[in-house]
A = this chain, B = another copy of it.
Amino acid sequence: MDFSSKLLENAVNEVSRLPGIGKRTALRLVLYLLKQPKENTKYLVEALTHLRKDVKSCEKCHNISDTELCDICSNPKRNGEIVCVVEDIRDVMAIENTAQYRGLYHVLGGKISPIEGIGPQNLQIGSLVEKVKNGEVKELIFALSSTMEGDTTNFYIYKQIEKYGVTTSTIARGISVGDELEYADEVTLGRSIVNRIPFEQSIKG
């Protein structure tokens, strides 16, 4: 791509470093900013700068937070004895949206993935094991993606905490609510039969 302006080229290059954004999309975004009032770019730039400078990681659960201790960890109404282990902050947001969970979280910051060069030492596993060891936690819920990396991570953590006698569970795998049975893959369908639940329990919703 030939640019008529070095400033434009530079901006397009920086924007296209973002994941899933190619040069053409970057150019579209940058030209859009140029057509908008100058304030819009200013607000965007300020929001990103402040975020990168001032955002913190909750020292207890490693969730993204504006304070040392996040709103969930500092909420006295939440049950501190149950901890849900998730990959990243998006999973916390997804589970919070269900309004079904009143325990705390532990954000690992990723999954063990040798292909991407992510080992246990790159994740927040040590502090989780520490929490279990101290007896703060009575139950761990593994809520990682149902992939090989997710399962590996679950298993790795399980092996570390097994000896402390904490209750562990994983979120249920099964047919999505609203899904047609015939389109479900056989692994999911198989698991949903093996892990079937009492009907009385299912209608309680």
A2 at the interface (CB under 8 A from B): yes
Question: For window 1-47 of chain A, which residues contact chain B by CB distance below 8 Å?
Answer: 1-8, 10-11, 13-15, 17-21, 25, 27-34, 38, 40-45, 47
Partner of A32, one of B13, B18, B38, B55: B18
- Which chain B residue shows the least CB distance to A13? B47
Contacts of A59 in B (CB 8 A): none
Say yes or no for A96: interface residue by CB 8 A criterion: yes
Chain A, interface size category, equals: 35 or more
Q: Select A47's contact among B10, B64, B66, beta carbons within 8 Å.
A: B10
Q: A1-B93, A14-B47, A93-B1 are in contact. Are A33 and B52 (CB under 8 A)?
A: yes
Query: Are the C-beta atoms of A48 and B54 separated by less than 8 Å?
Result: no
Q: Please state if A3 and B93 are interface contacts (CB–CB under 8 Å).
A: yes
- Report yes or no: A8 in contact with B55, Cβ–Cβ below 8 A: yes
| B5→A66 contact, CB < 8 A | yes
Instruction: Determine whether the beta carbon of B34 is less than 8 Å from that of A55.
Output: yes
Q: What is the count of identical protomers in the complex?
A: 2
**Complex Cα gap A15–B88 (Å):** 20
List A111-154 residues whose CB lies under 8 Å from chain B: none
**Which of B4, B33, B66, B89 is close to A70, meaning CB atoms less than 8 Å apart?**
B4
Cβ-defined contact, A96 with B2, below 8 A: yes
Q: Give the residue name and chain of the B residue nearest to A3 (CB).
A: B93
Q: By the criterion CB–CB under 8 Å, are A88 and B44 in contact?
A: no
**Assembly CA distance A78 to B33 (angstroms):** 30
A3 to B21, CA, bound (A): 24
Q: A interface vs B, CB < 8 Å? A: 1-8, 10-11, 13-15, 17-21, 25, 27-34, 38, 40-45, 47-55, 58, 63-66, 70-72, 88-90, 92-93, 96-97
